Amino acid sequence: MKKVSILIPAYNEQESLPLLYDKLTEVVGSLPQYEWEFMFVNDGSRDRTLEMLQELRAKDTRVNYVDLSRNFGKEVAMLAGFDYVSGDCVVIMDADLQHPPHMIAKFLEKWEEGYEDVYAVRKTRGKESKLRKSLTMTYYRLLQHTTRVEVLPNVGDFRLLDRKCINMLRKMRDAERYTKGMYCWIGCRKIGVEFEQGDRLEGESKWNFGALLNLAINGITSFTIAPLRMVSVCGILIATVAFVYMIYVLFKALFYGDPVAGFPTLMVAILFLGGVQLIGLGILGEYVGRIFNETKNRPVYFIESFNGEYREPEK
Ligand code: UDP
Ligand code: MG
């Protein structure tokens, strides 16, 4: 029998877990031809999430949980999940029921047809502010223009991945992760299925503006060096203009004399160039920072326990 793992990162999800578990058992009950595993990753929750997972595990052996040693963020929590799941394929979904469990059946259909990465495409984005929506779309367009890898808009982590893809993703141990880009980067046979994204039922979104901005910058800096290229091009352009202007100023001073003036020009030039240089330095810094973080070569996460005891993931 083929084994399907459902991977759910959970951070402070005590309100959502009972309902999620009910829904999942319902869906799973209607698909008896598969063996199931529910893999929860407790991402350092501060509420009763861990206790609830222990209770679930006690009454249902299909439930497994990885307890991380602190909050590492969803991207890393997913990697921990990849390391510990045992299924022939893995369905990743959020704990807050924004990802409807009934889609699992559709995913499996496509998987049986031979697709290795079945991703869900949001038809609508649920309740989100207009600003957040338009920022997201602009961001994707930007990302699209600067990378060779296609990163799909309106596609998230809600998807089914074949064991093959999971093994590929496990090899990519970036500390600052942008999994959404990685799915695209690894290739594999992909297909999208549409779904209606619901609203978070309980609790609140864990992403604030800062966290999203961080994810966005990670997305760009981990997939492309286009910003560096942009700074170089910008530098060349400015230098060319400056050179032409220099000749002009020189000749003017030579032939017409130089009654000291031009303070505004001077200020504008200094401030503008200062600004451009700082931006350039900042962009350079982003990449140097990433090199710093990756060269430390630390394990990406540490676990407290797997189902209550310590265990290394299988190779
Ligand atoms: N999550 C996590 N660690 C975090 C933040 C979130 O594991 O530091 C999980 C969270 O429990 C949920 C999923 O990631 O299962 C998506 O989080 P959320 O619903 O807050 O994000 P949104 O739907 O607003 O993008
Ligand atoms: Mg959510």
Q: Closest Cα to atom 19, ligand 1: which residue?
A: 205
Do 306 and 53 contact (CB within 8 A), yes or no?
A: no
Residue 26 contacts residue 109 (beta carbons within 8 Å): no
Q: Which CATH architecture describes the domain 3-224+299-306?
A: Alpha-Beta Complex (3.90)
158 Cβ closer than 6 Å to some ligand 1 atom: no
Ligand 1 atom 22: residue of nearest CA: 205
pLDDT for 201 equals 65
Looking at per-residue confidence, does 303 or 126 come out higher? 303
> Across the chain, what does the average pLDDT equal?
88
Cβ-based neighbour number of residue 154 at 10 Å? 17
Supply the pLDDT for residue 126: 62
pTM score, whole prediction: 0.84
At 302, give phi and psi (nearest 5°).
-125, 145
How far is ligand 1, taken at its centre, from the CA of residue 279, in Å?
Answer: 32
Q: Whose CA is nearest to atom 23 of ligand 1?
A: 205
Other beta carbons less than 10 A from residue 211's beta carbon: 13
Separation CA 294–CA 290 (nearest Å):
6
Residue 223, by phi and psi: left (phi above 0), alpha (psi -120 to 50) or beta? alpha
Query: CB within 5 A of ion ligand 2: which residues?
Result: 94, 96, 98, 200
| Proportion of the chain above pLDDT 70, given as a percent | 97
What span, in angstroms and rounded, lies between the C-alpha atoms of 240 and 7? 54
- Cα dihedral sign, 218-220-223-228: negative
pLDDT value of residue 202: 65
Ligand nearest to the CA of 204: 1
Distance CA(22)–CA(294), nearest Å, equals 40
Which whole number is the average pLDDT over 122-144? Answer: 78
Count H helices and E strands in the chain, helices first: 10, 8
**Does the Cβ of 77 fall within 6 Å of ligand 1?**
yes
Distance 197 CA to ligand 2 centre (A): 10
- Test site for ligand 1: of 93, 206, 212, 213, most ligand atoms within 8 A of the Cβ: 206
Q: How far is CA 73 from CA 68, 134, 162, 280, in A?
A: 10, 24, 23, 29
1-10, 47-56, 63-72, 272-281: range with lowest mean pLDDT:
272-281
